[in-house]
Structure 1
Amino acid sequence: MGTTTDFAKRWFTVRGWKPFAFQKQVWTAVKQGQSGLLHASTGAGKTYAVWFGALNRFARASSPAETSRKRKPVAEPLTVLWITPMRALAADTASALEAPLQDLQIPWTVGLRTGDTSSSERARQSRRLPTTLITTPESLTLMLARADAQTALSSLRMVVVDEWHELLGNKRGVQLQLALARLRRWHPDLIVWGVSATLGNQAHAEQVLIPNGGGISVQGQSKKELRIDTLLPPAIERFPWAGHIGLKMLPQVVSELESSASSLVFTNTRAQSEIWYQALLEARPDWAGLIALHHSSLSRDTRDWVERALKDGQLKAVVCTSSLDLGVDFLPVERVLQIGSAKGVARLMQRAGRSGHAPGRASRVTMVPTHSLELIEAAAAQDAVAARRIEPRLSPVKPLDVLVQHLVSIALGGGFVPDELYEEVRGAWAYRDLNQAEWAWALAFVRHGGLSLTAYPDYRRVEPDEHGVWRVPDARLARRHRMSIGTIVSDATVQLKFWSKGGGGKQLGSVEEGFIARLKPGDGFLFAGRLLELVRVENMTAYVKRSTVKKAAVPRWNGGRMPLSNELAQALVARFSAAAQGHYDGPEMQAMRPLLQVQQHWSGLPSEDRLLAEALKSREGWHLFLFPFAGRQVHLGLASLLAWRASQRQPLTFSIAVNDYGLELLSATPVDWAEQLDAALFNPADLLKDVLASLNAGELALRRFREIARIAGLVFAGYPGAPKSTRQVQASSGLFFEVFKQYDAGNLLLAQAGEEVLREELDIRRLEQTLERINRMKLDLHQIKRPTPLGFPLLVERMRESMSSEKLADRIRRMVSDLEKTADTGKTR
């Protein structure tokens, strides 16, 4: 029988390792039955801190009699659930957990249960679960929806939530909170540990994971050495604009990759990764087979191959997206390149940690700007990382769509008694304030669809039996629900396969339905690093063949525009403010001096206590450029709010453009911005009412409601092999939205849609904080004669909406040429 740190000491000693103090602290806490949150740098040894805690407390070594048998000893029953946010991490985690078991002769088994698990393996697990099961929140909920769930999980003693920061702030995390509440009810002494590398609010993270208190927070080893540098472009564009993709930096990137044995090249979007991978191959054809592409829309086989080749040191570089952000252990990787701004401190640190992924090894990330202003972001990111100003992540509060789904799942998993389940649900942090009226609404909704759907059998999903236990009586509805469990809602995707006359062509991955809908047979596009030609579309599958077309489209997936985080924005403004005082510290700021001097001469530079504003009269009309540095989501709400409030004073119509730094309002009729920009325009009072009045809030709420309707089970996305199209799903959601508005205005899912628009689409809290901050600042308004380096990208952003990419590029070239000539003459306005 193992004793405290017995297994750990034995295994570490054989490898010549010395445990860190934080690892010993976790081992001791688990031995004492404590739950907790472990926060430590990527590659610092978090996994073995928690894993050996479990082994030391619950495992035993095989006896000599057992080991002398020819057959393996019977494995211990399910003891540990290991929750991972990504299926891609599961296999890598399993390898790490299995390593000590054979060496120490521990009769434990490790298994995987994710969306990628084969039906034969699922059947095997149905007969006997492994001692440690690595799974996702969705697969855990599916287990809880089994009628024998309580029996199957009766031997469970510990739950580990890996990469907790990835789940904490979204509905997947809420789904997990509800699952943990059920497991705690069955096992009051259940030990729960969260593991994370990048959290800016550890106290909240611990409270959400262990809502009843009693947990401890363990801080890992001292700061891991993190080296951050920037590739400087050969020339600085004084009038930058987003959309370059950074390919002008291709020669420098190639040179950097040449100097390292193995590198990861992170991009922020899947489209960007496709473009960069193709560009690298064209620049270095001899690297074919030595560089690879990895993003979540590629086939599982392709991603598995890339991950194995990286681990084995066979690849020189992999161009990737957030699909490789987390946890996968690639020891051969020496460095990371980040194409474009990471937009957040935590994201940059997470990606940097993919290099030097071992205790004691330094991590290195090199930032590659895609336009000039990202050089200042790079300098600001270094400041924020050095100060460890990491973004906080907050749990959603009372998402009723997730609760409704959970009720049906639990009704399938043996049924529930409402009063008992109410107390259990309130044990999840997100629902700690759930009141009886909301609970009664949720019960009515799963029983008969609420006020407006009572007549339809498909929405009578749960019924109480003669004993008062609520169950799912309809096998068809039960099957549909199991297929719909989860909170990840994305646009419908079309599978890509090579065309084969006999069928059965190789699968390449998937793209969003909206992209394929814009193509016709014969059109070319870029995917998985290949030039492809569309042959035909059939049953949500696009058949393709290799193409030689010179002009190819690139799939655009949703989710590509990440807003600038508050922490990075503050560091960015601090850098501008220092430049205004003549301080250009570091190579990035030195390189930016020519641009910043033009900005200062023609207008001014932003600072912490002054709000930079620029008024311009052009042939298009009267422009206002405003630079609050609050991120594009907040700027969208702010621009709409200011436009609406200004139009209440005089009849005005505005065109709007936003980016992460600021916003542009353009009116075809005269506006005296010096008079308009007063305290009342920025007043936080009546914010909610004015924002809703200023936006097409109904359309925004409808878009949110589509997701809510699918999570809540109102809309079924179809069976395997026969999925519904996006248009069908959207039409169904829209119909429910209108029915509820007309006949069930008090439906809480409608209210949730409105709340999510304000919280997530517009970030209403940050908008309110921005207005409060603006009111404390002094307005620094400049009447300018031409666009400045900060204002020019906003002009481009607006023109992009109405011009083709070719016409836009030609127009921009002419504008930049004129502005550069003016800047060279030294004109100050």
Structure 2
Amino acid sequence: MSLAERWFAARGWQPFTFQREVWQAVRDGESGLLHATTGSGKTYAVWLAALERFAQQMPRSGQPAPLSLLWITPMRALAADTARALQAPLDELGIVWSIGLRTGDTGSAERARQGRRLPSALVTTPESLTLLLTRADARQAFAGLQMLVVDEWHELLGNKRGVQLQLALARLRRWQPRLIVWGLSATLGNLPEALQVLLHPGRGRLVQGRIDKPLLVDSLLPESIERFPWAGHLGLRMLTQVVGEIDAASTTLVFTNTRSQAERWYQALLDARPDWAGLIALHHGSLAREVRDWVEQGLKQGALKAVVCTSSLDLGVDFLPVERVLQIGSPKGVARLLQRAGRSGHAPGRTSRVTLVPTHSLEVLEAAAAQQAIAERRIEARSAPQRPLDVLVQHLVSMALAGGFRPDELFAEVRQTWSYRELDEAHWQWALAFVRHGGHSLTAYPDYQRVEPDDSGLWKVPSRRVALRHRMSIGTIVSDASLTVKFWARGGSGRSLGSIEEGFIARLRPGDCFLFAGRLLELVRVENMTVYVSRATGRKAAVPRWNGGRMPLSSELADAVVEQLDAAARGEFDGAEMRLLQPLLQVQMAWSALPRSETLLAELLRSREGWHLFLYPFAGRHVHLGLASLLAWRMARHQPLTFSIAVNDYGLELLSASEPHWASQLTPHLFDSRDLLHDVLASLNAGELARRRFREIARIAGLVFSGYPGAQKSARQLQASSGLFFDVFRQYDPDNLLLGQAEEEVLRQELDVDRLEQTLRRLQARRLDLRQLQRPTPLAFPLLVERFRESMSSEKLADRIRRMVTELDQAAGPGGYQADAGVMPVVEREMSRPRTPRARKDGTPNRSRRAP
């Protein structure tokens, strides 16, 4: 009996087939990707395989083995939990291995100990791994490394953090050609590509853990819904039902999509059940580490009734007491919903249950679609970025710190990664020149002479100051400048509560109140990147808004939504969700039609504002923003028009003060995908979009330094600095490849131009279903509200919505839900949203206002 089997038998467990397959593959020295259900035992599949292959070769007493295994995790919160899970078999099997953590939370004393001797197994993040590789003795430190495991590979695969890990892997494989590498994931739709990216240029084994783990996906539905919805109009009206679900379960995770929403729901639950004080908690990435650790420990011990959280608890953390998961609002993607479902019943054989809580009527439709998509296992694919030069530039400086590099050798090493497999000599020489003297326009500035060749041809960092600044800037996670939030105490600062984005605090004055860390706080002062606060009571509070809160609907979920509408158009309303939606959809069909998979629904409306066009491609808000701007620009080339634009996940609105010639404009030629890049760039004022994107690129590439601890630069300073570089490059170095990267990232990430091209082709193939409206339909109404937000205060908007809903419900006849007066204050609190862009006369949107 093998070591792994003995440990399983001692605990009364029976290994799954996929676990045995991984054990055998590692015995044979194979690398691979393990894709298995959350909570099915992926961790022990690879960990016990590593112990069996490598630990048995080590002595059972004396000093722990040298560094033999790296365990890469995408989240610091996951690292500590992983380390605890890895420790258990060591103690029971008497294996003399040490387990260590190396993340941004690791203290200086522990870092110093690791500097002298690394543990046998190190749990770390991509950023911390790169930092370790910058050590001058890195090759010696990793000399005993035999295996590397990437946990939650899906979280890294599609972003620059994953590219950073690819580069680190290339370095480690060069030192250890027989290194065994395994990736772990539960939610990937493109497994062969994910395996190739991880192991490129080598090959490995794909292991799929197909076990019958029960999964229940259901919905928490109101008794009735409004037939004319808008974003957030249900929201906290579901509070009573949510309280009931939490009350009936032992421990519940309440997931929200944004930190702002988490703060709001946590406070609402406490207001509804004051007796739950101390039994419910809040968890998101901006809270202090001590707070997050306390919450996670409380979940493990079963001491908490519920935790309101964000994606900070999405991944891998093992909370066995969690019985239920509630998802507030649409998950926007199938993989995300599956990941969160797996946080309940996190053990083989236990049922995972996730309950969707819609926050507006059309999210009931998304709930039905999500259940269908999960039943059919439609999981989103994730693709690795192609040749990001800012990450390459950062890597060159990192490797120059690690004892130096020779360009030809490093070029061959970098090309071993998936993302840089097609890197050509011209781009490589540009990157070398950029780190050596900053390119054509920065040659005169010593700060950008970061790497120089010595007499032997070895490229090194010439200055301790440059080395220090670079080590402090390693990583690809870029966000707005954050300020530490602390209680005000006379004679010194009080306890830290976490961090908050500078852009939010900049709008407040001393005495203003805001909700943070589940507390009502009053701003006392802002000093040295620290927000000092005191407790406040009984005042209206602002709620912080963090960037990145508006996720687009994924293609898989959008397609499932359209299929539900197809069925409804045939008179089929299967399931509780669709039966609840029937009154709304019947009004839509009576006044217009339903969007179908073979038609493109276009609604025309004349109002006092002008002429409206509503289109419903169901492609997600990012695509709709690009599509709306593109259509406006193309139409304006044939007829001088000024358009206002509104978008959501379902469709778009174009509003013109002059009557467009719709009959001649709405032809298949309008949706032609030829010359798409040229037309999109022209329609979107892409230079301004690229300027915003360049800020991230400049930070990663080392052009902009965020500042030393305690003296960080403000977001305004960083934006000004990156904007200055952008202007200088455009004027004096127009061939700078970072400019081209900024433009490409705008197209690929902000506008999802690949999906836009696919959408245009699909729309061209559909039959146009043109409907003339007498009044806004249930699908058109939320687009009107999106546009109203731009020009109205919350109070005026709430009044207008009240009036419009009343008028539309009267026109629709009996069967509608009339919101009571108690709902409107909730609506008013939820009205502060990002603004939609207004188009110029040439059809391009006005970028002076932020796009959604």
| Distance apart, 1:448 and its partner CA | 0.3
Conserved? CA contact 2:591–2:773, under 8 Å? yes
Q: Distance in 1 between the 2:15 and 2:468 partners?
A: 48
Residue type at the aligned position of 1:643: A
1:46 aligns with 2:23: no
1:571 aligns with 2:560: yes
1:757 aligns with 2:746: yes
Conserved? CA contact 1:41–1:223, under 8 Å? no
Residue type at the aligned position of 2:92: D
Residue type at the aligned position of 1:275: R
Conserved? CA contact 2:216–2:354, under 8 Å? yes
| Distance apart, 1:519 and its partner CA | 0.1
Change (3 A) 1:223 1:709: farther
2:635 aligned to 646, 654, 662, which one?
A: 646
1:58 aligns with 2:62: no
- Write the deviation string for residues 648-671 of structure 1: whole angstroms up to 9, x where unpaired: 111100000000000000001112
1:37 partner SS: strand
Matches within 5 A, 1:114-125: 114-125=103-114
Q: Distance in 1 between the 2:197 and 2:170 partners?
A: 11
Conserved? CA contact 1:61–1:104, under 8 Å? no
- Write the deviation string for residues 459-485 of structure 1: whole angstroms up to 9, x where unpaired: 000000111000001000000000000
| Distance apart, 1:672 and its partner CA | 3.1
Q: Distance in 2 between the 1:529 and 1:683 partners?
A: 50
2:246 partner SS: helix
| Distance apart, 1:673 and its partner CA | 2.0
1:348 aligns with 2:344: no
Conserved? CA contact 1:524–1:549, under 8 Å? no
Q: Distance in 1 between the 2:551 and 2:815 partners?
A: 36
Conserved? CA contact 2:283–2:295, under 8 Å? yes
Q: Distance in 1 between the 2:255 and 2:425 partners?
A: 47
2:610 aligned to 621, 637, 643, which one?
A: 621
Q: Distance in 2 between the 1:228 and 1:402 partners?
A: 39
Conserved? CA contact 1:38–1:220, under 8 Å? yes
Residue type at the aligned position of 1:303: R
Q: Distance in 1 between the 2:127 and 2:538 partners?
A: 41
Q: Distance in 2 between the 1:611 and 1:501 partners?
A: 64
- Write the deviation string for residues 546-603 of structure 1: whole angstroms up to 9, x where unpaired: 0014310000000000000000000000000100000000000001100000000000
User: Equivalent residue for 2:18?
Assistant: 22
| Distance apart, 1:799 and its partner CA | 0.5
1:518 aligned to 503, 507, 517, which one?
A: 507
1:86 aligns with 2:75: yes
Conserved? CA contact 1:298–1:509, under 8 Å? yes
Q: Distance in 2 between the 1:312 and 1:826 partners?
A: 48
Change (3 A) 1:604 1:214: same
2:594 aligned to 595, 605, 610, which one?
A: 605
| Distance apart, 1:804 and its partner CA | 1.2
TM-score (norm 1): 0.98
User: Equivalent residue for 2:847?
Assistant: none
| Distance apart, 1:223 and its partner CA | 4.5
Q: Distance in 1 between the 2:80 and 2:765 partners?
A: 52
Matches within 5 A, 1:403-422: 403-422=392-411
| Distance apart, 1:62 and its partner CA | 7.6
1:11 aligns with 2:7: yes
Conserved? CA contact 2:201–2:417, under 8 Å? no
Q: Distance in 2 between the 1:465 and 1:669 partners?
A: 68
| Distance apart, 1:361 and its partner CA | 0.8
1:290 aligns with 2:286: no
Q: Distance in 2 between the 1:269 and 1:805 partners?
A: 20
1:35 aligns with 2:31: yes
| Distance apart, 1:224 and its partner CA | 2.5
1:744 aligns with 2:744: no
2:687 aligned to 684, 690, 698, which one?
A: 698
Change (3 A) 1:475 1:826: closer
Q: Distance in 2 between the 1:585 and 1:87 partners?
A: 43
Matches within 5 A, 1:701-740: 701-740=690-729
Conserved? CA contact 1:83–1:162, under 8 Å? yes
1:365 aligned to 326, 348, 354, which one?
A: 354
Conserved? CA contact 1:7–1:56, under 8 Å? yes
Q: Distance in 2 between the 1:442 and 1:174 partners?
A: 16
- Number of residues paired by the alignment? 816
Residue type at the aligned position of 1:329: D
2:494 partner SS: coil
User: Equivalent residue for 1:70?
Assistant: none
- Write the deviation string for residues 222-261 of structure 1: whole angstroms up to 9, x where unpaired: 3432101101112210000003361000010001111100
User: Equivalent residue for 1:175?
Assistant: 164
1:316 aligns with 2:312: no
User: Equivalent residue for 2:451?
Assistant: 462
1:200 partner SS: coil
2:485 aligned to 489, 492, 496, which one?
A: 496
Q: Distance in 2 between the 1:223 and 1:191 partners?
A: 29
Q: Distance in 1 between the 2:55 and 2:258 partners?
A: 43
Matches within 5 A, 1:70-469: 73-244=62-233, 246-469=235-458
Change (3 A) 1:104 1:62: farther
Q: Distance in 2 between the 1:234 and 1:278 partners?
A: 24
Residue type at the aligned position of 2:353: R
Q: Distance in 1 between the 2:178 and 2:506 partners?
A: 53
| Distance apart, 1:504 and its partner CA | 2.6
1:383 partner SS: helix
Conserved? CA contact 1:20–1:221, under 8 Å? no
Q: Distance in 1 between the 2:252 and 2:499 partners?
A: 26
User: Equivalent residue for 2:572?
Assistant: 583
- Write the deviation string for residues 161-190 of structure 1: whole angstroms up to 9, x where unpaired: 000000000000000000000000000000
Conserved? CA contact 2:234–2:361, under 8 Å? no
1:791 aligned to 768, 776, 780, which one?
A: 780
CA RMSD of aligned residues (A): 1.1
Residue type at the aligned position of 2:168: A
2:762 aligned to 761, 767, 773, which one?
A: 773
Conserved? CA contact 1:231–1:252, under 8 Å? yes
Residue type at the aligned position of 1:393: R
Change (3 A) 1:62 1:707: closer
Could you list the structure 1 runs, at least 4 aligned residues long, displaced by more than 3 angstroms after superposition. Answer: 61-64
User: Equivalent residue for 2:846?
Assistant: none
User: Equivalent residue for 1:558?
Assistant: 547
Conserved? CA contact 1:148–1:413, under 8 Å? yes
Q: Distance in 2 between the 1:115 and 1:303 partners?
A: 14
Conserved? CA contact 2:452–2:459, under 8 Å? yes
Change (3 A) 1:825 1:249: closer
Residue type at the aligned position of 2:437: H
Conserved? CA contact 1:492–1:513, under 8 Å? yes
Conserved? CA contact 1:114–1:135, under 8 Å? yes
Residue type at the aligned position of 2:734: A
Can you give the 5+ residue segments of structure 2 that lack an aligned partner in the other structure? 817-852
1:487 aligned to 476, 486, 492, which one?
A: 476
Q: Distance in 1 between the 2:252 and 2:49 partners?
A: 33
- Write the deviation string for residues 685-741 of structure 1: whole angstroms up to 9, x where unpaired: 111111111112111000110000000000000000100001111110000000000
Residue type at the aligned position of 1:749: L
Q: Distance in 2 between the 1:62 and 1:180 partners?
A: 25
Conserved? CA contact 1:446–1:461, under 8 Å? yes
